[in-house]
Amino acid sequence: MGIFSYRHRILVTLSLLAMNFALSSFSFAQDPANTLTRSEQELKKINTELNELTDTLAVSSGETTDAIQLKLFQKNEQLRALLATAVSQNSLPEQELISQIELQKKYSKGATDYLENKIKELNTKIDAAKNEERLSLINESQELQHYLNTVIKSSWQNINWLKSLGLDESDLEEQFRVSVIHRLRLTSASVEYFSQQIGVIGNQLSVSPESEKAGLQLSQLVVRQRMAIAIESLSTLIFVADQLGIDTSEHKRLLFEVTGSITQDLLDAKVILTILSHWSNSAFEWFSTTAPQHLFQLFIFVLLLFITRIVVKLVRQVIKKTVSTKNLNISHLMQDFFIGISGNIVWIIGIMIALSQLGLNLAPVLTGFGIAGVIIGFALQDTLSNFAAGMMLLIYRPFDVGDFVFAGGVDGKVSHMSLVNTTIKTFDNQIIIIPNGKIWGDVIKNVTHERLRRVDMVFGIGYADDLLKAERILTDIVTSHPATLKNPEPNIRVHTLNTSSVDFIVRPWVKTDDYWDVYWDITKEVKLTFDREGISIPFPQQDVHLHMVEKSES
């Protein structure tokens, strides 16, 4: 049967209570004269329907019984709506109206006693049950409390109806007022207790191992549902208490703090003062008890960060001196990598230690970093590809800062390197930043990697010029230049008998830094010396021969 049948057991009990009181007042149902007013006719009709539903309920079963029970409760609500209209419009005889309201008073009292007993029994079961069983019991408790809230409102409405009809209900109103005040205190205490329990369980969740979190989360859910029931009841009681002129500012303050809901009640100056007073008391208590500890923890946190900063500087200086020694022969990129990574590692360790002093659980933080790392990895695939290429450049060292290279389709001098990109300054002083992935995936030519370089030049002379003389001149020019090296020896040979010239290869060895100076100097000196010695430097020529063909006579 479960919650559904339990709910309807409550409904039928309340409905039968209403039926017993309503039918006992059905004094005009057999009036032979057709003198009933419209309101009396409607009241007669509802009472007749209640009587018929009661008879049907006695012989029904299964789902039909549940439907009839719900219908009985709804009919009683229609009866109350009719009484409310009759009181406001005075559409029923006063004595009949008073009789009906008196019966509703008895019904409300009987329903209140019945529901309170059921709620007490159910709360005892909830306290003794396991968390898995509590959820279903709490749903039943929520139904009961909802009906009780409705009955409490009805009780206050009954008193108002009788007062509007001129009856003295001051004693009953005072009793009801005391009851509401008592209920307000108990319900507010329950709301406050459940709110504290949620905070305690939340703190336990933050430090408990994963194996215990499932049980704590279920306990937290149970407490939250019980607090929701108490909050609904407190809202109803505040509404009724306001009608009775009871001071509810403290209860409204509690309701605002636990729910955070902003209502028109907050516009009341007394409620605002109560909230501000409570906050100021809480702030004073915090400053007097908790603030010194937190301030000390904050001081330790800042101190640890300051110490970490000093240690980072020292570590970076030590690593910089270590990796900069000539014996290690480490590239600039690798030096920067070691210096940067050492400082970052120290920073991470220092920040983690400082956060732990604030009472922060580092396990969720590290887990969050791991998840964030996966997400960032998918989002930055190209950047990570460039980073991986930078690591390969760091390990294999095809070039370094200051080298002249051809890389990524660009000629120039390497001015800066990082693990993501490389900055190259071209010979016309342009700055070009190339992703490392493009460099590593293409041909890399390092012009200045080696200490010595060979200068390759080709000079041509005419076929009519003195070959040996030209060879001597070239040898003298090369050997006389101060920047050319004797070892390895320069290579000067007749290389090609070209179409228009006899070509010599001239290949002296120089220091890498002297490459272009030697190239330009020797080229210039060869031209001047050949002109002075009468040796020609031919340019490409092509002979065109024209043959005259006589036109034959036809």
Residues 6 or more apart in contact with residue 494 via CB below 8 angstroms: 467, 471, 502, 503, 504
CA distance 465 to 502: 9
Sequence length of the chain is: 554
Report yes or no on whether pTM surpasses 0.75. no
Q: b or e along 267-278 (b: 16 or more beta carbons within 10 Å of the residue's beta carbon)?
A: eeeebeebbeee
CA distance 211 to 227: 26
Q: CA 228, 229, 235, 238 torsion: positive or negative? A: negative
Quote the pLDDT of residue 522: 94
Alpha helices of 90-166 — where are they, by DSSP H? Answer: 94-128, 131-164
Find residue 434's DSSP bridge partners.
422
* Structure tokens that stand for 245 in this block: 């002129």
DSSP 114: H
Residues 6 or more apart in contact with residue 477 via CB below 8 angstroms: 522, 525, 526, 529
Alpha helices of 245-268 — where are they, by DSSP H? Answer: 249-259
Pick from 303, 513, 522, 478: which is nearest to 403 by CA?
A: 513
DSSP string, 358-371: TT--HHHHHHHHHH
CA distance 456 to 475: 14
SS3 34: coil
> In Å, how far from its chain's centre is CA 518?
64
User: pLDDT 10s per residue in the chain (554 long)?
Assistant: 344 445 545 554 555 455 455 444 444 444 444 455 676 777 777 777 767 777 776 677 666 766 766 676 677 777 778 878 878 877 777 887 788 788 778 877 877 887 888 888 888 888 888 777 777 888 888 888 888 888 888 888 888 888 888 888 888 888 888 888 898 889 888 888 888 888 888 888 877 777 777 888 888 888 888 888 888 888 888 888 888 888 877 777 777 777 765 555 555 555 566 656 655 655 555 566 666 777 777 888 888 888 888 888 888 888 888 777 766 666 666 677 777 778 888 888 888 887 777 766 666 666 666 666 666 655 556 677 777 887 788 777 788 888 888 888 888 988 888 878 889 988 888 898 888 888 888 888 888 878 899 999 999 999 999 999 999 999 999 999 999 999 999 999 999 998 889 999 999 999 988 998 999 999 999 999 999 999 998 877 666 777 777 666 54
Pick from 419, 461, 458, 455: which is nearest to 439 by CA?
A: 419
CA distance 127 to 21: 36
CA distance 45 to 271: 47
CA distance 330 to 82: 96
Environment class of 87 (CB within 10 Å of its CB; exposed 0-12, middle 13-18, buried 19+): buried
